[in-house]
Amino acid sequence: MSAFAVDHVIRAPLAVVDGMVRPAAIGLSDGMIRVIGELDAVFDTAAHTVLGDDVVLLPGMVDTHVHIDEPGTDWEGFASATAAALAGGITTVVDMPLDCDPVTTTVDALVAKRAVAQGVCRVDTGFWGGIVPDNLTTFGELAAAGVLGFKCFLSESGNPHFPPLRPEQFGRAMAMVAELDSVLLVHAESARVLDDCPPTAGRDYASFLASRPDAAEEDAVGMVLDAVAETGARAHIVHVSSARVLPMIAQAKRAGLPVTAETCPHYLTFAAEDIADGATQFAACPPIRGVDNRELLWAALADGTLDMVVSDHSPCAIELKDLAGGDFGRAFGGISSLQLALSALWTRARDAGFGLADICRWMAQRPAELAGLTDRGTITAGRRADFCVFDPDAQWVVHTEDLLHRQPVTPYAGLTLTGSVRQVWRGGRLADEHGRGTLVSAPTRIGEPV
């Protein structure tokens, strides 16, 4: 057998390749996967890395729902967020356009955000653009400037500079997204439903649930699906919390509509029955619902109704969580989990009978496809040599002092998780403290270091 000429070879007794966990030897050159052979394949190179049989080589994870909150706040930041991502096996993140100042609704704001990110990111970093009422006629300029797609709200975002779209505005936005051949990510809670709900006040978690009912998601998802059918635009429903929208999404997919949907580790891990009154570290919008609802979300991942799992990493200043008062009406709705998402999902997934190939599909392949980053997300010849070396059996306790994202508040504190990231490779090199990612831009990534 003739040898393959490559720069480096990783020999992995266990790797997720072609949707299966199997032995593989992976030849790398110029930061790309060049060839995948059997474990004993012969290569023309002296540079070899041999992994043990206690770890599995995964593609680098891709998280398309991260609130980095820079510039303009001290809630997170590109340096800390991407360091946490790297520690969690994530090699690409896509930043959301709100919770920063200025919000990313203009080209000037995008340029400012990229300038802040330049030189500090530990992983590849892309950007979503925002659609708000004031930029309905101009948001297409952001597509030309390189955003990977767009994000909007159908109810209040919590940021007065990022207001929601009214139904007629949403229809116009979808028509433009179709013309741009882009994708619109939608926070699908309906303003008209939420406006009729009792406001949240006090420590009662049941009151918080009642203030953001399933009906808010149902109404908003219905609006999204109607607009997809009318315009042909691609839509992606973010952070699905309510199982009551799952039949609607499944029917739309059967009809061939271009719609995808995600959920998040916290909706798959926790349940309303286990959340104590006043435990505002669990506050999220939409909220964590009941245990039966949670199991239906898992079933929807199994049957493909839900396409992916992303963190929705959404930190804030500690005082905004109102931990001392425990008032859900005052607490910021967002959960920090970027460093923990892979292990948190694997902990529950393995117990539910899923495998690491499922994890890679949900956390790497499908998010990469959503963002149009077709050069990553799987261990495939011709794609980027981004890897996560994962010990699937290691157990560890979440201690907030070990977390690298800036704000330590998380509902995962004190939990025992299964699965630990041992190494991360980026662009064919073992990641270290000196490595930097690149800013990624539609339709292909650009090469300047960040």
| Pair (38, 112) in one structural domain | no
Residue with tokens 């290569």: 43
| Pair (65, 49) in one structural domain | no
Q: Do 69 and 99 form a contact (C-beta atoms < 8 A)?
A: yes
| Pair (193, 91) in one structural domain | yes
| Pair (42, 124) in one structural domain | no
Q: What's the pLDDT at 45?
A: 84
Q: Do 400 and 66 form a contact (C-beta atoms < 8 A)?
A: no
Tokens of 80: 């800390």
| Pair (184, 247) in one structural domain | yes
pLDDT higher than threshold 50 for residue 256: yes
Q: What's the pLDDT at 443?
A: 58
What would the pLDDT profile of 379-424 be if each residue is shown by its tens digit?
A: 999 999 999 999 999 999 999 999 999 998 999 999 999 999 999 9
Neighbouring-strand partners of residue 429: 426
- Tell me if residue 87 falls in helix, strand or coil: helix
pLDDT higher than threshold 70 for residue 155: yes
| Pair (27, 142) in one structural domain | no
Torsion angles phi and psi, residue 74, rounded to 5:
-110, 25
Residue with tokens 């495939």: 380
What would the pLDDT profile of 99-121 be if each residue is shown by its tens digit?
A: 999 999 999 999 999 999 999 99
| Pair (41, 106) in one structural domain | no
pLDDT higher than threshold 80 for residue 312: yes
Question: Is residue 448 domain-resident?
Answer: no
Higher pLDDT, 161 or 436: 161
Q: Do 325 and 281 form a contact (C-beta atoms < 8 A)?
A: no
Among residues 47, 96, 44, the alpha carbon closest in space to that of 68 is found at 96
Query: Letter for the amino acid at 124?
Result: D
Question: Is residue 36 domain-resident?
Answer: yes
Question: Is residue 103 domain-resident?
Answer: yes
Question: Is residue 389 domain-resident?
Answer: no
Write out the residue range of the structural domain in which residue 16 sits: 4-53
Q: What's the pLDDT at 122?
A: 96
Any idea what the CATH number is for the domain that residue 308 is in?
Answer: 3.20.20.140
User: How far apart (Å, rounded) are the C-alpha atoms in residues 268 and 361?
Assistant: 16
Query: In whole angstroms, what separates CA 58 from the centre of its chain?
Result: 17
Q: What's the pLDDT at 18?
A: 86
Question: Is residue 386 domain-resident?
Answer: no
Q: What's the pLDDT at 442?
A: 79
Confidence band of 29 (pLDDT split at 50, 70, 90)? very high
| Pair (168, 38) in one structural domain | no
User: How far apart (Å, rounded) are the C-alpha atoms in residues 236 and 241?
Assistant: 14
| Pair (285, 183) in one structural domain | yes
Torsion angles phi and psi, residue 420, rounded to 5:
-135, 140
- Tell me if residue 14 falls in helix, strand or coil: strand
| Pair (226, 344) in one structural domain | yes
- Which parts of 283-339 fold into alpha helices (H)? 291-303
Tokens of 153: 């709200």
Higher pLDDT, 397 or 435: 397
In 3-state terms, the chain is what percent helix, strand and coil (to 5)? Answer: 30, 25, 45
Question: Is residue 429 domain-resident?
Answer: no
Question: Is residue 426 domain-resident?
Answer: no
Q: Give one DSSP letter per residue of 340-377, joined into a string.
A: THHHHHHHHHHHTT--HHHHHIIIIIHHHHHTT-TTSS
| Pair (182, 167) in one structural domain | yes
Question: Is residue 237 domain-resident?
Answer: yes
User: How far apart (Å, rounded) are the C-alpha atoms in residues 175 and 169?
Assistant: 10
- Look at the chain and report how many structural domains it folds into: 2
Q: Do 267 and 286 form a contact (C-beta atoms < 8 A)?
A: no
Confidence band of 445 (pLDDT split at 50, 70, 90)? very low
Q: Do 377 and 62 form a contact (C-beta atoms < 8 A)?
A: yes
**Is the peptide bond preceding residue 408 cis, with omega within 30 degrees of 0?**
no
Residue with tokens 């261990």: 379
- Which parts of 380-438 fold into alpha helices (H)? none
Q: pTM to 2 decimals?
A: 0.96
Among residues 376, 284, 365, 367, the alpha carbon closest in space to that of 94 is found at 367
| Pair (30, 171) in one structural domain | no
Any idea what the CATH number is for the domain that residue 33 is in?
Answer: 2.30.40.10
